């Protein structure tokens, strides 16, 4: 299960590997309201992450790691969201691994400098699926989550 943590939107993608073939079982996003307090938003992220974990029972949780942040306030919020996601995984005995956006882009697109458009295109090509008609901006977070999952799959394939 790949996750791209965020306070407003957390993207996720649940991948399956059978006979070294990758397929997408589920994807979506956890959206929180700007009207809610930071604490309420974190509770929402935690509870929905637990629900997804209980529904899919992933073998591993792969997080997009915060690599570089120019906005300290945003970095702190993402770190807090990451913390509640890690707690949800730990409580369910799910190992956690993280990759930077650059590592995911390299694994999916062949370049660590690929832009979001290239990542989306390659993720859709690899898994033969399309973005939903609504909330297309949230689909960036979903593709980032799936990309870290693909990154882990490729790294484990090479072992």
Report, as residue numbers or ranges, the catalytic residues: 4, 64, 141
Alpha carbon distances (Å) from 32 to 7, 70, 85, 92: 7, 23, 14, 23
Give the CA angle between residues 95, 12, 77 to the nearest 5°. 85
How far is Cα 45 from Cα 41, in angstroms, rounded to an integer?
6
The token duo for 142 is: 């979903």
The token duo for 42 is: 């974190």
Sign of the CA dihedral with 132 first, then 56, 45, and 2 last? negative
């Amino acid at each position: 299960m790949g996750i791209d943590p965020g306070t407003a939107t957390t993207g996720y993608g649940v991948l399956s590997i059978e006979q070294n073939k990758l397929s997408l079982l589920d994807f979506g996003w956890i959206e929180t309201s700007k009207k809610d307090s930071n604490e309420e938003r974190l509770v929402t992220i935690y509870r929905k992450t637990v629900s997804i974990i209980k529904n899919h029972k992933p073998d591993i949780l792969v997080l997009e790691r915060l690599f570089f942040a120019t906005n300290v306030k945003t970095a702190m919020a993402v770190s807090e969201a990451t913390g509640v996601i890690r707690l949800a995984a730990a409580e369910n005995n799910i190992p956690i691994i993280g990759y930077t956006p650059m590592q995911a882009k390299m694994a999916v697109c062949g370049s660590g400098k690929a832009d979001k458009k290239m990542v989306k295109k390659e993720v859709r090509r690899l898994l033969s699926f399309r973005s939903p008609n609504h909330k297309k901006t949230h689909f960036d977070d979903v593709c980032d989550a799936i990309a870290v999952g693909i990154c882990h799959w490729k790294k484990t394939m090479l072992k």
